[in-house]
C-alpha cells in the first residue's frame, strides 16, 4: 500500500487567514449596516499598466500567426527578458550578474518553496521570526523542520531568529551553525529594511560557515532610502553564498499574471555548482513561464513601463505615509512603511495581537493582520498594508484615530 509523505502531517493548519475571514464574516452578519475596510490584504489592487497590457496584446497576436507563434519557452527563460533584467536590476546597480545566472519562473513564492530541493535533508534551516510562512512550510514538507512544539509555537529543528523592536527587526547572527538562511528585506510582515552593512555581516557569516543565504527581494522596488541594498549582490562576496529571489508581483502588479526569477550565480559552489543543480531542476520540472507573460515582463523595463511602475509604487506609498502619520498622531508606535508597503504597529495597552484585531474590527470596522500569525515574535504586533485604495485607506486611518 502506498505511504504518504508523513512530513505533511506535521504542517500546522494555516489558521491565520481562515480565522480572520471567520471573525469578519460573523461581525458583518451581525452588523450589516457597517462598512468594513480591509487593510490586511497582501495583494495589490491597482490594475496592470498600459505598457504591460500593450505587450500582452502584441504577444497574443504573435501567437495567432504561424510565422511568430511560439511553442515551449526555453526552460530558463527567454533571452530578451533575461537581458532586460540583467541590465536594469543588476548592471545598473553595479552588480556583476550575468544573463545566464537568471532563471525566469512563475513567481517568488514557488521559487522560495522549491529552492530547498537542491539541498540535503539534514541541513539546519534558519528563518526570521516573524516570517513569511512558505520558507518554514516547504522545509517541513521536506523533513528538515523536526516536530512542531505547540507550547513554543515552533518546530524543534528550525533556528528562529527573533526580529523585534529591540534589534530594529534585523536578526542577530545565529550562535549555532545555520546552513540554509532565509532572509527577506524589505521584510514582510515587519516592513523594515536592512542596511548594506548589516547585510554584509550575513554574507560574511555565510561565507565563513559555508552556509547559503536565500535572499527574498520581492519588495525591492519600495526602497526609498539610501544605503538600503536593492540586491544582496551589492555586498561583496555575495555571489559566493547567496541566491536571490525576485518577483513582478508587488512592483508591477503581476500577482495574477505570475512572473518572477531566481539568481543563482555560477560562483556559488558547495562542492558542486548550485547553478547547475538549479538548471537541472528547472529543465526537469518546469517548462518555462508563458511567452506572453515574459513579453509583459520585458515591458516593465521599457522607459514608459518604468514610469508606470513608479506610479504604482508611489500610489501605494502615499497610503503608507498616511497610515504611518495618522497612527503616530494617534499615539501608536509604528514601524516599517518607509521602504515597504507594510506598516507594523505595536498593539496598545498590552493587548495581544488577536485582542487588538477584535478591538479594531468592532470599534473601527477595520481589518488588519495579527502579528502573532507570522510567528511567536510577532505577538504584540499588528500588520496593516498599503495595498488598498486611497479612499479606503484614509477612511480606515481616520476611524482608527477617532477610536
Ligand atoms: C508577495 C511575496 C512574494 C511574491 O510571490 P509571487 O509568487 O512572486 O507572487 C514573495 N515573497 C514574499 C515575502 C512576499 O510577501
The pLDDT score that the predictor gives to residue 41 is: 78
β-pairing, 37-38 vs 366-367, is: parallel
The pLDDT score that the predictor gives to residue 42 is: 85
Same structural domain for residues 42 and 97? no
In a domain, 1, yes or no: no
| Euclidean distance between CA atoms 34 and 48, whole angstroms | 31
Ligand 1 atom, smallest distance to 248 CA? 8
Distance 322 CA to ligand 1 centre (A): 24
Same structural domain for residues 194 and 291? yes
Distance 165 CA to ligand 1 centre (A): 24
Domain CATH code at residue 363: 3.90.1150.10
Distance 266 CA to ligand 1 centre (A): 24
- Of 134, 228, 150, residue with least CA distance to 189: 134
| Euclidean distance between CA atoms 360 and 184, whole angstroms | 28
What is the dihedral sign for C-alpha 325, 328, 332, 335? positive
Same structural domain for residues 290 and 229? yes
> Where a domain ends, among 302, 334, 359?
302
C-alpha dihedral, 239 to 240 to 243 to 244, nearest 10°: -30
> Where a domain ends, among 284, 302, 320?
302
| Residues 217 and 250: beta-carbon distance below 8 Å | no
Distance 33 CA to ligand 1 centre (A): 35
The pLDDT score that the predictor gives to residue 319 is: 98
> Where a domain ends, among 251, 273, 302?
302
Same structural domain for residues 134 and 236? yes
Distance 385 CA to ligand 1 centre (A): 14
Pick left, alpha or beta for residue 391 (phi over 0 → left; psi -120 to 50 → alpha; otherwise beta).
alpha
Using a 6 Å CB cutoff, which residues line ligand 1?
107-109, 132, 184, 188, 216, 218, 247, 249-250, 255, 260
Distance 153 CA to ligand 1 centre (A): 23
Same structural domain for residues 277 and 329? no
Ligand 1 atom, smallest distance to 132 CA? 13
Residue bearing the CA closest to ligand 1, atom 14: 218
pLDDT in tens, the chain (403 residues): 999 999 999 999 877 888 999 999 999 999 999 999 999 978 999 999 999 999 999 999 999 999 999 999 998 999 999 999 999 999 999 999 999 999 999 999 999 999 999 999 999 999 999 999 999 999 999 999 999 999 999 999 999 999 999 999 999 999 888 999 999 999 999 999 999 999 999 999 999 999 999 999 999 999 999 999 999 999 999 999 999 999 999 999 999 999 999 999 999 999 999 999 999 999 999 999 999 999 999 999 999 999 999 999 999 999 999 999 999 999 999 999 999 999 999 999 999 999 999 999 999 999 999 999 999 999 999 999 999 999 999 999 999 999 9
First to last CA, the chain: 59
Pocket test for ligand 1, best of 188, 253, 286, 316 (most atoms within 8 A of CB): 188
C-alpha cell at 126: 534558519
The pLDDT score that the predictor gives to residue 14 is: 76
Ligand 1 atom, smallest distance to 108 CA? 8
Distance 46 CA to ligand 1 centre (A): 17
pLDDT tens sequence across 29-72? 999 999 999 999 789 999 999 999 999 999 999 999 999 999 99
- At residue 103's C-alpha, the angle toward residues 87 and 8, to 5°, is 145
| Residues 129 and 162: beta-carbon distance below 8 Å | yes
Question: How many structural domains compose the chain?
Answer: 2
Pocket test for ligand 1, best of 111, 250, 341 (most atoms within 8 A of CB): 250
Same structural domain for residues 381 and 256? no
The pLDDT score that the predictor gives to residue 282 is: 94
Distance 235 CA to ligand 1 centre (A): 23
Same structural domain for residues 231 and 107? yes
Distance 3 CA to ligand 1 centre (A): 32
Same structural domain for residues 163 and 225? yes
Ligand 1 atom, smallest distance to 249 CA? 9
Ligand 1 atom, smallest distance to 109 CA? 7
pLDDT tens sequence across 62-88? 999 999 999 999 989 999 999 999 999
| Residues 250 and 239: beta-carbon distance below 8 Å | no
CA 139, chain centre distance (Å): 17
| Own/partner pairs, 144-149, CB within 8 angstroms, 24+ separation | 144/116, 145/7, 145/10, 147/10, 148/10, 148/12
Same structural domain for residues 116 and 231? yes
Q: Give the structural domain span for 255.
A: 53-302
Amino acid at each position: 500500500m502506498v505511504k504518504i509523505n508523513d512530513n505533511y502531517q506535521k504542517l500546522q493548519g494555516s489558521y491565520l487567514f481562515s480565522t480572520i475571514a471567520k471573525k469578519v464574516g460573523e461581525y458583518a452578519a451581525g452588523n450589516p449596516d457597517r462598512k468594513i475596510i480591509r487593510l490586511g490584504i497582501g495583494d495589490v489592487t491597482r490594475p496592470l499598466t498600459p505598457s504591460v497590457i500593450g505587450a500582452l496584446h502584441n504577444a497574443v497576436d504573435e501567437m495567432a500567426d504561424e510565422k511568430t507563434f511560439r511553442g515551449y519557452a526555453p526552460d530558463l527563460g527567454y533571452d530578451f527578458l533575461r537581458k532586460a533584467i540583467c541590465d536594469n536590476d543588476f548592471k545598473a546597480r553595479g552588480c556583476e550578474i550575468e544573463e545566464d545566472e537568471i532563471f525566469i519562473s512563475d513567481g517568488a513564492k514557488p521559487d522560495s518553496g522549491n529552492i530547498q530541493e537542491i539541498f540535503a535533508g539534514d541541513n539546519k534551516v534558519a528563518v526570521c521570526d516573524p516570517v513569511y510562512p512558505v520558507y518554514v512550510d516547504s522545509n517541513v514538507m521536506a523533513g528538515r523542520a523536526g516536530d512542531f512544539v505547540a507550547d513554543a509555537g515552533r518546530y524543534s529543528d528550525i533556528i528562529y531568529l527573533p526580529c523585534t523592536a529591540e534589534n530594529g527587526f534585523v536578526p542577530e547572527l545565529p550562535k549555532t551553525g545555520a546552513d540554509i538562511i532565509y532572509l527577506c528585506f524589505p521584510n514582510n510582515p515587519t516592513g523594515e529594511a536592512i542596511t548594506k552593512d548589516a547585510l554584509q555581516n550575513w554574507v560574511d557569516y555565510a561565507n565563513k560557515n559555508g552556509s547559503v543565504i536565500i535572499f527574498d527581494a520581492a519588495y525591492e522596488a519600495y526602497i526609498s532610502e539610501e544605503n538600503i541594498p536593492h540586491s544582496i549582490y551589492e555586498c561583496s562576496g555575495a555571489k559566493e553564498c547567496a541566491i536571490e529571489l525576485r518577483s513582478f508581483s508587488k512592483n508591477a502588479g503581476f500577482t495574477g499574471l505570475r512572473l518572477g526569477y531566481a539568481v543563482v550565480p555560477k560562483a556559488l559552489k558547495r562542492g558542486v555548482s548550485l547553478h547547475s543543480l538549479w538548471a537541472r531542476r528547472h529543465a526537469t520540472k518546469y517548462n518555462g513561464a508563458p511567452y506572453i507573460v515574459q513579453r509583459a515582463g520585458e515591458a516593465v523595463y521599457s522607459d514608459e513601463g518604468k514610469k508606470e511602475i513608479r506610479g504604482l509604487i508611489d500610489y501605494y506609498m502615499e497610503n503608507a505615509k498616511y497610515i504611518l502619520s495618522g497612527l503616530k498622531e494617534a499615539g501608536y508606535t509604528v514601524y516599517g512603511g518607509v521602504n515597504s508597503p507594510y506598516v507594523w504597529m505595536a498593539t496598545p495597552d498590552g493587548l495581544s495581537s488577536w485582542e487588538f484585531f477584535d478591538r479594531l474590527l468592532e470599534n473601527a470596522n477595520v481589518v488588519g493582520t495579527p502579528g502573532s500569525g507570522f510567528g511567536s515574535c510577532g505577538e504584540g504586533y499588528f500588520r496593516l498594508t498599503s495595498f488598498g485604495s486611497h479612499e479606503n485607506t484614509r477612511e480606515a486611518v481616520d476611524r482608527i484615530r477617532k477610536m
